[in-house]
Structure formats: structure tokens, C-alpha cells
Amino acid sequence: MNQSKQSVRSGLISRAMVESIVKLNPITMMKNPVMFVVEIGTFLVLLMMIMPKQFDAEGRFGYNLSVFLILLFTILFANFAEALAEGRGKAQADSLKKTKKGTIAKKVVKSGTIKEVSSEDLRKGDIVLIETGDMVPGDGEIIEGLASIDESAITGESAPVIKEAGGDFSSVTGGTKVVSDFIKVRITADPGESFLDKMISLVEGAKRQKTPNEIALNILLVTLTIIFLLVVVTIVPIADYVGVNLEVSTLIALLVCLIPTTIGALLSAIGIAGMDRVTRFNVLAMSGKAVEAAGDINTIILDKTGTITFGNRLAAEFIPVGWSSKKELTEMAVVTSLFDETPEGRSVVELARKQGFTSDTSKYESGDIVPFTAEERMSGINLNGFHYRKGAVDSIIKFVEKQAGEIPEDLKKKSDEIAKKGGTPLAVCMNDRIYGLIYLKDTVKPGMRERFDELRKMGIKTIMCTGDNPLTAATIAKEAGVDDFIAESKPEDKIRVIREEQEKGKLVAMTGDGTNDAPALAQADVGLAMNSGTIAAKEAANMVDLDSDPTKIIEVVAIGKQLLMTRGSLTTFSIANDIAKYFAIIPAMFTAAIPEMQALNIMGLHSPTSAIISALIFNAIIIPLLIPLAMKGVKYVPMSANKLLYKNIVIYGVGGIVVPFIGIKLIDMIVKVFM
């Protein structure tokens, strides 16, 4: 395993080395204005070496060669950082390309017969039969059948998932494999437009667009570059006035050291690495903007079931009402649940068994099963004129009242108490008598309160959406620690909340998997769709979670914050670097003509030439030294903006001044040996 990882790592590095040379193309370099200026300077120094007379540089070949090589390696290191970040995505894209090669599809033609065709020949609307062991030839919707599907090629998750026709879990992705049963699928994407094709293009970074924050930072870097270019040009007449002859190569060295080359070299790599981090977290970001927007999120809309809670409401307690005993209620609850194969039904029988209930239930096996329906909202069995039912409290009350039965006085009080605890009360009756309540409890996932506390420290508001009644919703919201909740919510409620937050100037994130979530996912600034959900949801969102874990939105926000922090920290470090390099080069340029400027040579550098060479070398080697930090990202810890600013100034501001002083001095001590 270690050898395999080492092989992959060495492959990425060798590819990045080649790419760093290819990226020397001026057309490519123009996309990074700061490094493009460095490349122009490198070319000018090369001309000085080739034509020394024209540039009045005779006798300075060794010095100019040193400057040229250092500048060249500065550019190569910058290109290497970007190529290494891109290389991770390309390596993943290569493995995905292998997944989609050579798939044979069993196309169902109009006559109903099966015709084997290449997956590349399938078009939207075609229907294919996929049996056990077959690869899914393209994206589509299941129109018939149910199957267990291995999605590990896409998600990395080894456990197969069940997909069936109808509902929100009927979409399949090309490149996955059917491991049991069969399905018929209607293809929903033409070749080149599938989800797998989108993944390949996205992880390769081919469609990565610069985010607003990155564009703003680029403008800042370009502005600083222009300012320092004007400064360097202005220094020439000043130097002439005091009798100092500055060589072109020295002026170029000064310009390269003063402009923010460090962040200019790493900026693109930081953005690409941010997208790569969410991809490695099994979240597919449709653009760099989505990742960065996650870092600026102010509000998160979360479903309750399956996100904040486990989603399975299980029997926790039997609560008798009226003059019924717990033993009578337990028996009636078991009778109504004998043939209920839902998790709730099985949990009722299991709870009774754990509490020591023993009774001969075989006499009920001949009864007529009454399945649960959305209209009746209850289920049970009919046997020998007896009607056993369990269901929603109001439905059971109506059922009993039709038979002129009396409603126990304590029924409402006890059902409200269950609701206040965040549970769901199910009433149990036989004919005209209500025996009591089954307390169904949906448990909040461990650690959710702590995670929401972290979001609160980030300044992010959390809103829970649930179809539960207000009492249940309030209890769960309090237990989980969310800031607000919407009870009995409908799809339009989510859109309304998102728009209200956005009108306040806030960025909103939400998760969803169903077709009814698609409008809200599209409206949100960061929409995280579940891979197990519908195609409509995945197309509406700007992120897709391949593991279908709704809580992952919290980690996505942290990754977005980390991207912004990394960019801010390295920008602070880069600009602070310029201060130290200023004290290295400026005194070296003017000390001979103006001895008083020796006071600025606080590093005690050996000579003007060694000072310039040392500053240039440090300027070059700091780039590869910071590549691991740019790729991994600055560790994110939730804190206020003021604390974050203070931390940046102390660590990366002060550090950005101290490190160059030490580094340039050490390099100067080595350089003077060779001079």
C-alpha cells in the first residue's frame, strides 16, 4: 500500500515538473499578471547575457547568469505549485475515465427485443435493461424494477444501495454496477453530458472559474505590481542624481523582490486545492465559486430527519391512558404491530419483548391485515369482529368516536407531553376503547449540539426544517441547539426563508435530495444535493455529496472557510515578506554612494551583490516551501473576524517579516563563500 501511494505521489510530481515547463508559454503566463512580469524580467536578463554590449553589461555575465537562473526557477516553482494542484484532479479524472470505457448496453427496441449497443450510442429517451453484474451504461431514471447497485466507482463507498422505480431514489449514474435483480432505465443524458463526464471535466479543473474574492485579490496584486513598477522606474533618475549606476538586472531583481510574487505564485494553487479538498471529501463542487461561497455562508437550512436526527422513529415507551393497564396496552400494541414490517412496527414488538411481555400471539395470525394509508393514518388487523388499530392520535380519536366510544381525559395531556419531548405519539385502540400511547422517539445524532455551537462561533445561523408539529419541532430544535426552526414546512417554505435571508444580504446554504427540493437548492448560494437523490436535485445544486450524507454541509462550510483563511494568511505573509526584502536590497544599491544608508543594512549583509542574490534566492525558494501549506490549507478553528485578523497579523504578518530576515541572512552567509 505504501509503495502504491509512493508511486502515485512520484507520478504526480514528475507530471507537475513537466507541466511547470509547458506553462512557461507566455500566453499561459499572461493569466497570472504577477508571474508574467517576472517572466518578462527573466527574458530581459537573458537578452543582457546574449547581447551585453547593447545593455552595457560587459563583465557582468556571472552576476546576470545568477539573476537569470534564480528568476527562472522562481517561475518554475510557481508553475509547479499550480501543476501539482491540478495533477491531483487529473489523476482522479484518469480513474474516472477508465470507469466509463467499454460499457455495453442492452437497449430495449420498439419491438420489445433486446439489442446490444455501445454506451456511446445511447441517446436521451432510450430504454435499457440492466441485469445482475451489468454496468449502468449512462445516467437515467429507473422506470421498472428494483436493484442493489454498487456505486463505489463513483462514491468510493463499498456498501451497495437500493434503487427502485418511483420516488426520490430512482436515479442511476453511468459507471455504477447492478449487483442484484434487474432494472429498466430511461437514459436522461446524451454522450458527453452525463454526470460522470461532468465529474471528469470538473476534477480536471478545465472549467474552474475565478471567484469574486480571487478576482478582487488579483486586482490588488496587479495594482501592487504596477505601483512597484513605477517605484523602480522612479529610482533610476534618483540614482543618476546621486551618482549611482544601477544595472537593469539589479532593477529587475528589485522589482521581483518587491512585488507580491509569493502569493501571486500560489494563488491559483490555493483555489484548485480548495476544490480538490472537497472532492477528496467526496463532495463534487461544480465550480470554485461554490467552494468559496461556502466559506462566506451566513445561514444554513437543514432538514431534521436524517440530518439532525437519525430518522428512524422507534418505540421507546408504552404509556397507558384512562383505566387501562400497561400490560393491556402492551398486548394491544403488539397485536397491531405483528404484521407491520416498518422500523416503527418492529420496534414496538422488540420493546415489548425487552420489557418481558409474553403472550400467545399465534391466535392473531388469521386476522385480516389493515395496511397503513396516508388517508387513514393508521394500521392494524381485524379478527372475529374486533378491530385493532394504532396510528396518529387524531385519527384514532375519529375511529373510536365513530363507534360511540369515550375518549380518555388524560389522552391529550399525555400525547402533548410526548410531543414536547420531541417524540411522536401513536394511539392504540380496540374497537371503541383507547388503551394508551406508544412513544416513538427520533434521536438527535450525537455531537450535533457541539457542531452547531461551532457554526455559531463562525457567525452562521442554523435553521431546521421539519414536517413535524410545532411542539415536536421546538423540542428537537432545543435539544440539537439550532438557532431557529420551521415546523410543518413545505418546499415553498424553504424557498421563502432562503429569499428572506438573501434579501438581508446573507449567503445561504441548504441540503436536499428530492425533486421538491430542487427549487430551493437552485435558489441557495450553496446547494448540496445528495447523490442518492433525483437528477433534478443534482442539476439544481452546485455541489453533489457522493456519500449522500446531509450533515456534510457543515464540513463543506469549514473547507470553504479554510480556503479563504489560507488565501488571507499567505497574502499577509507575502506582503510582509516585501518589508524584509526592502531592507536587503535598497541599502545594497545605494550604500556605496550614500554611506549613511549603511544604517538600513540591519541584516549586516556581506556586499551589495550578495544582498541582491540572497534576496532573490529567498524569494524563489519560499514558494516551494509554502506549497504544502497552500495544498493542505491553514488549519481552521472557529473564531470571530477580529480574532482571525489578530491571528493573521501575529503569525503570518510578523512571521512574514522575521522569516525573510533570518532566511536572507543565512543565504548571504553561504553566498559570500562563493564570491
How far apart CA 428 and CA 338 sit, in angstroms, is 13
Do residues 651 and 569 lie in contact, with contact meaning Cβ atoms separated by under 8 Å?
Answer: yes
Residue 197 falls in the annotated catalytic set:
no
Task: Please say whether the dihedral angle defined by the alpha carbons of residues 568, 570, 575 and 579, taken in this order, is positive or negative.
Answer: positive
150 — alpha (psi -120 to 50), left (phi > 0) or beta? beta
667 — alpha (psi -120 to 50), left (phi > 0) or beta? alpha
From 183, 33, 28, 184, select the one nearest 108 (Cα to Cα).
184
Return the C-alpha cell found at 467.
414536517
Q: Biggest alpha carbon distance in the chain?
A: 117
Q: Where are the beta strands (DSSP E) in 158-227?
A: 161-164, 171-172, 177-187
Do residues 372 and 391 lie in contact, with contact meaning Cβ atoms separated by under 8 Å?
Answer: yes
3-state DSSP call for residue 80?
A: helix
Distance of CA 21 to the CA centre of its chain: 31
How far apart CA 522 and CA 407 sit, in angstroms, is 47
How far apart CA 194 and CA 418 sit, in angstroms, is 47
* Cα 369 to Cα 46, 378, 397, 454, distances in angstroms: 90, 12, 20, 49
Residue that is written with C-alpha cell 525558494 in the block: 621
513 is in an annotated binding site: yes
From 86, 77, 87, 84, select the one nearest 262 (Cα to Cα).
77
From 302, 305, 211, select the one nearest 498 (Cα to Cα).
302
Parallel, antiparallel or unpaired: strands 461-465 and 299-303: parallel
Across the strands, what pairs with 369? 381
Parallel, antiparallel or unpaired: strands 484-486 and 461-465: parallel
Do residues 109 and 184 lie in contact, with contact meaning Cβ atoms separated by under 8 Å?
Answer: no
How far apart CA 548 and CA 179 sit, in angstroms, is 20
* Per-position DSSP letters for 9-53, written without gaps between them: HHHHHHHHHHHHHHTT-HHHHTTSHHHHHHHHHHHHHHHHHH-TT
How far apart CA 318 and CA 621 sit, in angstroms, is 71
340 is in an annotated binding site: yes
Cβ-Cβ contacts under 8 Å for 85 (sequence gap 6 or more): 268, 269, 272, 273, 276, 630, 631
Q: Give the active site residue among 150, 197, 296, 303.
A: 303
121 is in an annotated binding site: no
390 is in an annotated binding site: yes
How far apart CA 364 and CA 371 sit, in angstroms, is 15
Parallel, antiparallel or unpaired: strands 461-465 and 177-187: unpaired
How far apart CA 557 and CA 297 sit, in angstroms, is 7
Q: How many CA atoms lie within 13 A of 606 on its CB side?
A: 18
Q: For the chain, report the end-to-end CA distance as a whole number of angstroms.
A: 48
From 561, 544, 565, 529, select the one nearest 455 (Cα to Cα).
561
* Cα 368 to Cα 336, 338, 346, 384, 478, distances in angstroms: 11, 12, 18, 10, 42
Binding-site positions for Mg(2+): 513, 517
Binding-site positions: 340, 344, 390, 513, 517
Binding-site positions for ATP: 340, 344, 390
Q: Which residues are catalytic?
A: 303
